Amino acid sequence: MKIVVLGGGLSPERDVSKKSASLIANALLSKGHEVALIDLYEGIENDAPVEGLFRKGTDNEFSYEIPETEPDLEAVIREHGGRREWLGPRVIEICKTADCVFLGLHGANGENGKTQAVLEAFGIKYTGCGYTGCVIAMDKALSKALVSGVGFKTAKWFTTRDPNITFDETVEKVGLPFVVKPIGCGSSCGVSIVKNKEEFDKAMDFAEKYEQHIIIESFIKGREITVSILNGKALPITEIIPHEGFYDYKNKYQAGLTTHVCPAELTEEETNRAKRIAEEEFRILRMTAYGRIDMIYDGTDFWFIEANNLPGMTNTSLLPEAAAHTGIKYEDLCEQIAVEAGRRNVT
pLDDT tens figures, 300-323: 999 999 999 999 887 678 999 999
Q: Are residues 143 and 56 in the same domain?
A: no
DSSP state of 238: E
63 is a domain residue: yes
84 is a domain residue: yes
**What pairing do the DSSP bridges indicate for beta strands 2-7 and 34-39?**
parallel
pLDDT recorded at residue 161: 85
| Alpha-carbon gap, residue 192 to 246, rounded angstroms | 9
Q: Would the pLDDT of 254 be above 80?
A: no
Strand, coil or helix: 251: helix
301 is a domain residue: yes
Q: Are residues 168 and 244 in the same domain?
A: no
Q: Are residues 319 and 287 in the same domain?
A: yes
* CATH code of the domain containing 168: 3.30.1490.20
Q: Which residue, 192, 218, 244, sits at the end of a domain?
A: 218
- Taking only the tens place, the pLDDT of each residue in 81-113 is 999 999 999 999 999 999 999 999 998 888 999
The H or E element that residue 99 is part of is none
Q: Are residues 51 and 92 in the same domain?
A: yes
| Alpha-carbon gap, residue 54 to 34, rounded angstroms | 6
Q: Are residues 20 and 54 in the same domain?
A: yes
Q: Are residues 182 and 141 in the same domain?
A: no
Please give the share of the chain, as a percent, with pLDDT higher than 70: 92
pLDDT recorded at residue 248: 45
For residue 276, the enclosing domain spans 137-153+221-327
Q: Are residues 161 and 178 in the same domain?
A: yes
pLDDT recorded at residue 253: 45
Alpha helices in 223-267 (DSSP H): 249-253
Report how far apart, in Å, the C-alpha atoms of 22 and of each of 5, 6, 37, 60, 279 are.
8, 9, 7, 12, 29
Total number of domains constituting the chain: 3
Q: Would the pLDDT of 250 be above 60?
A: no
Q: Are residues 186 and 246 in the same domain?
A: no
- Taking only the tens place, the pLDDT of each residue in 255-291 is 566 799 999 999 999 999 999 999 999 999 999 999 9
pLDDT recorded at residue 42: 96
- Taking only the tens place, the pLDDT of each residue in 4-61 is 999 999 988 899 899 999 999 999 999 999 999 999 999 999 999 999 999 998 887 8
pLDDT recorded at residue 82: 96
Assign residue 212 a region (left: φ > 0; alpha: ψ between -120 and 50; beta: otherwise).
Answer: beta
* CATH code of the domain containing 268: 3.30.470.20
* Average pLDDT across the chain, whole number: 91
Q: Which residue, 173, 198, 218, sits at the end of a domain?
A: 218
